[in-house]
Structure formats: C-alpha cells, structure tokens
Amino acid sequence: MSQRISNGLAERRVLGFAKGILLDWDGCVAVGGRILPCAKRLIAEHADRVAIVSNNSTHLPADLKEILAWHDVDFPQDRIFLAGVEAVRDVAQSGAKRVMLLSAPKIRDLARTLGVPLVRDNPDVLVLMRDARFSYAKLERAANALRQGARLVVANADRTHPGPADRVVPETGALLAALLACAGDAKFEPSVIGKPGPLLFQRACQHLNVAPQHAVMIGDNPETDGEGALRLGIRSILIGGASSLKLEDLLEPIAA
Ligand SMILES: [Mg+2]
C-alpha cells in the first residue's frame, strides 16, 4: 500500500474532473441495506454524474431507489445497473427457448414479464444468481442441466459480499462453486454478466453519455471494481479494506 499523506486529495481532484462517476453498492453506498452517511454526501456532491453499478442479483433498480429514498436521497432509477437484472435482460434478448433460472422470486417475476421461457428441467440456458432458497434439489437439477449441455450464465462470480456486523453474505460465486464441483469433467465457460465483466460499466457509461476514459469507478473490491474498470480504461478509486482510503476521504472538506 502506498504511503498516503494527502488523505484522498488526489482522488478528490480526479473526481472533480470526472465526467461520470460509477459507484459500487455493497460495501460502498450501503451495508446490509443501510445507506452509509458518507455515500449520501458523495452522491449529493456529484448528483448529476453518478450511476450505481452493482453485482447485486436479488434486487431491482426500483428497490435500490426506494432504499435511497428512505434515506432522503432522490436517485434516478435508470442510473442503477444491477447484474441480476442485466443478466435477465441479456437472456431475454438472446432468444433462448428453455431457461432454468435460479434466483430470487422477484427476479423470476421480471424474467416472466420480459417473456423469458422458464423451465424446471432440460434447459438450453442455465442462469445462476444469488438464490437464498438454493437447495440440494436445485443443485442436482442445475448440475445435470450443465452436464447435458446447457449454456451457463451467471450474474457474478463473487463468493461473498459484506453484511452487517462484519458478517459475510454468501453470493452467486459460492453457488457457482458448488455447481462446478458437481459438474464433472465437462468444460464450462460461464458468461459472467457482472463486474469485472464489461457490461455493467459499458451500460452505465453509455447512459451517462461519457467515454470510459472520462469516468471513474469507486468500489471496495479490487478484483471486480478495480480490475473491471482497468480493462475498459476507466480509472478506479478503491476504498475500504483493500485500500488505505475510506469513502469519507473522497468528500470535499466542509468549510469551517
Ligand atoms: Mg462492493
């Protein structure tokens, strides 16, 4: 970790010049559905240039907008890009005929609304995301679907995300590890929709109408937020455990 005497001064300058600011959700804007006070201030300081880019696969943009609204933050829903929702959109556009979706119920509802043909068995596409009702029976059906040649799409490959009271929340990647452990010698190349893949970053930059080199990603995970941004030429600012910086270091000092 580099010696840092500026307490975020250089990063605040970078934010000041950025035309678009992409913000991670878990561990950055919120922990366990509670908005961090610093995130509230950061969003207010850069309101018209911020998009939220998250590997979250259990919520809809409307849910995050509502959580923000409870904390008196008015944030446009169309600037919230979530891996689960984008995975469903992608599969809906792919023309897949039989889709097995392991997800939260509200993501299944979204899939039905978008016309995704959901099946229990023999899918041509298996879509995996955080499913709090994941079970032995689902694992068995999904592993055999893969062995029979289904294409695998995963919302993200994160194994956990930070929860309240320093606990971890098992993520899609943990379910993916269980699935791959059962799938035998067959080779699978999952399509990963979330970070560090390019899709969420690209959709956010397009929506903000900024070129990647004029955008900055703020996140707490070097492997997803940092690496994904780097691949597209987006500058990244890491905060939290992986960095000597905290989110509050990115706020403009309050004038005395
Ligand atoms: Mg995070």
Neighbour count for residue 93 (Cβ, 10 Å): 10
Over residues 114-131, the pLDDT tens digits come to 999 999 999 999 999 999
* Mean confidence (pLDDT) of the chain: 92
Question: Does 102 score more than 60 pLDDT?
Answer: yes
Q: DSSP letter at 253?
A: P
Centroid of ligand 1 to alpha carbon of 124 (angstroms): 31
For residue 58, how far is its CA from the centre of ligand 1 (angstroms)? Answer: 15
The band of 93, judged by pLDDT with boundaries at 50, 70 and 90, is very high
Enclosing H/E stretch for 75: none
34-35 and 30-31 beta bridge pairing: antiparallel
CA of residue 98 to ligand 1 center, whole Å:
32
Residues around ion ligand 1, judged by CB within 5 A, are 24, 26-27, 220-221
Residue type, 133: R
Given a cut of 50, is residue 136 above it in pLDDT? yes
How far is it, in rounded angstroms, from Cα 231 to Cα 246? Answer: 23
- Mean pLDDT for 209-216 is 98
**Per-residue confidence band for 32, with pLDDT thresholds at 50, 70 and 90:** confident
| pTM for the full predicted model | 0.92
Domains of the chain: 3-55+195-251 (3.40.50.1000), 84-192 (3.40.50.1000)
Instruction: Average the pLDDT over each of 45-49, 59-63, 206-210 and give the range with the smallest value.
Output: 45-49
- Tell me if 210 sits within 8 A of 14, measured CB to CB: no
> 119 C-alpha vs ligand 1 centroid, how far in Å?
32
Q: How is residue 62 annotated by DSSP?
A: H
Amino acid letter for position 42: L
Q: How far is the CA of 170 from the centre of ligand 1 (A)?
A: 13
Find the 152 Cα to ligand 1 centroid distance in Å. 24
**Rounded CA separation 134/174 (Å):** 11
- Residue 193 φ then ψ, to 5°: -80, -40
